[in-house]
Amino acid sequence: MQVSFTRSAPVDTHADTVAIGVFDGKGVAHDTPGGELQALLDSGEAKTKFKHLAVTHAEGKRWIVAGLGDGERFDGERARVIAALAGERARELGAEELCWELPHDSDDHVAGGFVEGTVLGAYTFDRYKAKDPTNGGGIKKLCVSDHDDRAQTIAAAGIVAHATNAARDLQNVPANDMTPHALAARARELAGSEQGVSCEVMGRDEIVAAGMGMFGAVAQGTYAEPQLITLRYEGPDPDPAHPTLGLVGKAVTFDAGGISLKPALKMSEMKFDMSGGAAVIETIGAIARLALPLRVIGVVGATENLPSGRSMKPGDIVRAADGTSVEIINTDAEGRLVLGDCLVHARNQGAERLVDIATLTGGCVVALGSVHAGLMANDEDWAKAVDAAARASGELAWRLPLHEDYDEAIKSRYADIMNAVEDRKAAPITAAQFLARFAGDTPWAHLDIAGTAWNSGKPYSGKGGNGFGVRLMVELARSMAAR
Ligand code: BES
Ligand code: MN
Ligand code: ZN
């Protein structure tokens, strides 16, 4: 979808469909010359109640009057929701060019929210289906109209929303096609097309030779070549005082559990176990397109986790990149093995602030559902920065504690630490406590997105992969560039 901004009134644009919101207790800000919109409200057919939609025709266009509800409660999230709902209605009615009239005095989050909701809501994933002749292609152009110049905000929101949809594609493509190699190809493609981005990829032999024994152990069970993808972004005139941001993503392209095999129910969803890595790759794409003035390193650990005659076994002891010996208690706790070595790699590559993002534990789904990601951190200021980005972007995260007492739970009888605990106590936390060891003294935050990465039920991205983390991490990068 092409996204643009205009200071013209919607009536003067090429759009075939205009969407215009109304708050409780307010009338329409700019009516059609014939007063059709206010008439629709006065008749009761249009309502200001949040999410209510009504349609009329005037001036050769279709007009959607959208209820925005209480003006005090209206925020970026509500903008995304109403934009997705109005966009869906517009599409059903055959719209190809939609114009949103921004409510007066919208802040940037609200303005961007209308774009994000429209672009995310229009996402489809049907490349594996036979062509449906009744499917008319949908909205091709979105323009946003406002009195004030919002061109930058609108363009930026379009970039972030399209990057999010690109991450959704990576998530939704099944594991037979979205192999570690395919993820690396996408990272290389971004390096080829975006200013300031470069990419290096290590395969099995290099991963093992670099001493990443945890990553190597997960990858040894599959024929698929593992890929350690390192993306680098060097923005225009980065302030040398700004720390280098390191984004580390878990990309297990299929997690069968390994020898500690998962049950069959919903195992197909484990194609989404690469969601963290997908978010890191497309976040770096978005940061580059936004030309943010900072340095970012993206590290994505991509492999399958399968049972075979070569798989790691419960009881095996492997050595991490930093020399730590690790006993494998459960081969299904593979994410922390991959990420631990990736965190060490990111620090060696110069990352000075770390965020890792991973579909790490089923326990996080139980604890927080699909509303909040789990957030755990070793540094208060950094945790606050990540939480602020989460709130600003609407990709919410809720803090869970870390504490040295949890280290007791992952002490091994035979090695320095073990990768899982037999009981299920504090599963998201013990997983993070394992990772904390590899983050060392670098400020680090861990996002467990096991519950938020797919089927989150949001009106704008509820089904399948939703690209969770792209908006949050772009916002975090922005806040670092602004400082
Ligand atoms: N990828 C899974 C976590 C997961 C489960 C994400 C369900 C989304 C939905 C992860 O690799 C895993 O298997 N974790 C185990 C860890 C346990 C063995 C310590 C889990 O959470 O059960
Ligand atoms: Mn697993
Ligand atoms: Zn996993």
Q: How many CB atoms lie within 10 A of CB 138?
A: 18
Mean pLDDT of 441-458: 98
Q: Is residue 364 part of a domain?
A: yes
Give me the residues near ligand 3 (ion), CB cutoff below 5 Å.
252, 255, 273, 335
437 and 338, same structural domain?
A: yes
Instruction: Answer for the pair 211, 319: CB distance below 8 angstroms, yes or no.
Output: yes
Structure tokens belonging to residue 308: 């075979």
Percentage of the residues of the chain whose pLDDT score is greater than 70: 100
Predicted local confidence at residue 287, as pLDDT: 98
Q: Is residue 168 part of a domain?
A: no
**Å from CA of 208 to ligand 2 middle:** 21
| 241 pLDDT higher than 90 | no
Which ligand 1 atom sits closest to the C-alpha of 252? 1
**Could you say which of 134, 149, 164 is where a domain stops?**
149
Which ligand 1 atom sits closest to the C-alpha of 335? 11
Predicted local confidence at residue 37, as pLDDT: 98
**Å from CA of 271 to ligand 3 middle:** 9
Least confident of 65-69, 130-134, 174-178, 383-387: 130-134
Report the alpha-carbon distance of residue 109 to residue 52 in Å, rounded.
Answer: 21
Domain that holds residue 126: 2-149
Q: Is residue 161 part of a domain?
A: no
Q: What is the CATH number of the domain that holds 111?
A: 3.40.220.10
Provide residues with CB under 6 Å of ligand 1. Answer: 255, 273, 330, 332-335, 359-363, 365, 420, 427, 450
Helix (H, G, I), strand (E, B) or coil at 353: strand
Predicted local confidence at residue 348, as pLDDT: 98
Q: Is residue 119 part of a domain?
A: yes
Q: Is residue 316 part of a domain?
A: yes
Residue from 332, 419, 433, 447 to probe ligand 1 pocket by mutation (most atoms less than 8 Å from CB) = 332
Report the alpha-carbon distance of residue 23 to residue 1 in Å, rounded.
Answer: 27
233 and 182, same structural domain?
A: yes
Q: What is the CATH number of the domain that holds 373?
A: 3.40.630.10
Q: Is residue 166 part of a domain?
A: no
69 and 199, same structural domain?
A: no
234 and 123, same structural domain?
A: no
Q: Whose CA is nearest to atom 8 of ligand 1?
A: 450
464 and 351, same structural domain?
A: yes
191 and 87, same structural domain?
A: no
Helix (H, G, I), strand (E, B) or coil at 177: coil
For residue 229, give Cα distances in angstroms to 199, 207, 280, 399.
7, 11, 10, 28
Set 295, 336, 458, 471: catalytic member: 336
Instruction: Answer for the pair 77, 113: CB distance below 8 angstroms, yes or no.
Output: yes
| 483 pLDDT higher than 90 | no
232 and 94, same structural domain?
A: no
Predicted local confidence at residue 470, as pLDDT: 99
Q: What is the pLDDT of residues 25-55, one digit of tens each?
A: 999 999 999 999 999 999 999 999 999 999 9
| 239 pLDDT higher than 90 | no
245 and 98, same structural domain?
A: no
Which ligand 1 atom sits closest to the C-alpha of 421? 19
Q: What is the pLDDT of residues 465-476, one digit of tens each?
A: 999 999 999 999
Element spanning 229, H or E: strand 227-234
49 catalytic residue (yes or no): no
Q: Is residue 20 part of a domain?
A: yes
| 401 pLDDT higher than 90 | yes
Mean pLDDT of 61-75: 98
Structure tokens belonging to residue 26: 């307010």
Which ligand 1 atom sits closest to the C-alpha of 363? 21
326 and 194, same structural domain?
A: yes
**Å from CA of 458 to ligand 2 middle:** 26
321 and 250, same structural domain?
A: yes
Give me the residues near ligand 2 (ion), CB cutoff below 5 Å.
255, 332, 334
380-393 vs 470-482: helix axis angle to the nearest 10?
120
The ligand with the least distance to the CA atom of 272 is 1
Q: What is the pLDDT of residues 406-445, one digit of tens each?
A: 999 999 999 999 999 989 999 999 999 999 999 999 999 9
Predicted local confidence at residue 114, as pLDDT: 98
Least confident of 4-18, 130-144, 345-359: 130-144
Length of the chain: 483
Residue from 360, 366, 455, 468 to probe ligand 1 pocket by mutation (most atoms less than 8 Å from CB) = 360
Report the alpha-carbon distance of residue 18 to residue 20 in Å, rounded.
Answer: 6
Look at the block and give the residue holding tokens 């930093």.
322
310 catalytic residue (yes or no): no
Report the alpha-carbon distance of residue 453 to residue 279 in Å, rounded.
Answer: 10
270 and 135, same structural domain?
A: no
Mean pLDDT of 59-80: 98
238 and 335, same structural domain?
A: yes
Helix (H, G, I), strand (E, B) or coil at 392: helix
Q: Is residue 167 part of a domain?
A: no
Domain count, the chain: 2
Set 51, 141, 188, 262: catalytic member: 262
Q: What is the pLDDT of residues 254-311, one digit of tens each?
A: 999 999 999 999 999 999 999 999 999 999 999 999 999 999 999 999 999 999 999 9
Element spanning 297, H or E: strand 295-305
Instruction: Answer for the pair 168, 461: CB distance below 8 angstroms, yes or no.
Output: yes
Confidence at 351, pLDDT banded by 50, 70, 90: very high
| 215 pLDDT higher than 80 | yes
**Å from CA of 307 to ligand 3 middle:** 13
**Could you say which of 116, 149, 182 is where a domain stops?**
149
Q: What is the pLDDT of residues 126-168, one digit of tens each?
A: 999 998 877 778 999 999 999 999 999 999 999 999 999 999 9
**Å from CA of 48 to ligand 2 middle:** 46
**Å from CA of 399 to ligand 2 middle:** 22
| 102 pLDDT higher than 90 | yes
Predicted local confidence at residue 148, as pLDDT: 93
